[in-house]
Chains A and B, each alone.
Chain A
């Protein structure tokens, strides 16, 4: 892969803070950086299809009800993966879709959502 060009560093703002704690953690929480040749970080959420019983979500919902929390109509449990693709990856969006569809989720009973966190 091509060598990374000079990175433009900029301070994390209130807006970017919390969007990518994984990356900020590696940069000691001070800066985020963004160039075309930066690594690309994605969040992939995997959860059961709506028609498949989610016993963990149902149990949480039941306990909330027993605790007197009102108004909770559904709880769904999802698994969150953070995946970073190397700088210079030719088609990161297609790559992450492929990774999510073939490995992270099983389409028999699960669905997934991909969100780019960085840059």
Chain B
């Protein structure tokens, strides 16, 4: 199905809100505008999730990025519910700070360290998915250097859990196309059942040409919705 086609949907997606979240409204807007999906905001202190088909953990600077990015949010009451939701096979998408929260919650493996350059990087990047498609969208983070030890990295490769890798325009995955020093150029990662996706770049910021020329974020969101 074309990612650009507007379809009526009965799906209900929860978008989490932490103090410091700043991409929550963008996620809600992308789901409503492009997929006609009802999106509801869920506050971080909730101890029970409403009836949902999927959860999105948006980007931002939850709890001021104190301690480590995502570390304090990982202990929020709502995340205990998201853990249970994911364990039951629920679909979860973590974007940027959402990805950091997913790894700090141990829902996804690894850790996101300070970028190799020690700087906050905000720019357009190209991503390659396992099928070889090249997608273009922005990244904006200071702690996005994905790290796992060599053994764990081998497991991720063997099990096909690497969702997106930073690449160049031609699709080459190499050191020059790695903006933050991430292990194996990893920009996004699946859980074992492929229901949980964490990624540093922002698909919700690439849903309209007016946002910078790329609509490739819709492809990511379409794929996520199809896995619900």
Report A's interface with B, CB cutoff 8 A: 48, 51-53, 55-56, 59, 103-104, 106, 108-110
Report B's interface with A, CB cutoff 8 A: 67-68, 71, 75, 103-104, 109-111, 113-114, 116-118, 147-149, 181
A109 to B118, CA, bound (A): 17
A52-B147, A53-B181 known; A106 vs B116 contact (CB < 8 Å): no
A52-B147, A103-B67 known; A108 vs B118 contact (CB < 8 Å): no
CB-CB under 8 A from B117, the residues of chain A are 55
CB-CB under 8 A from A110, the residues of chain B are 111
Q: B114 to A109, Cβ gap below 8 A?
A: no
CB-CB under 8 A from B116, the residues of chain A are 53, 55
Interface-centre pick from A53, A104, A108, A109 (highest chain B CB count, 10 A): A108
Q: A108 to B75, Cβ gap below 8 A?
A: no
A108 to B148, CA, bound (A): 7
A56 to B113, CA, bound (A): 12
Chain B: CB-nearest residue to A56: B118
A48 to B143, CA, bound (A): 14
Q: B67 to A108, Cβ gap below 8 A?
A: no
Q: B110 to A55, Cβ gap below 8 A?
A: no
Q: B71 to A109, Cβ gap below 8 A?
A: no
A55-B117, A55-B118 known; A106 vs B68 contact (CB < 8 Å): yes
Chain A: CB-nearest residue to B152: A108
User: Closest approach, in angstroms, between the C-beta of B112 and any C-beta of chain A?
Assistant: 9
A106 to B109, CA, bound (A): 12
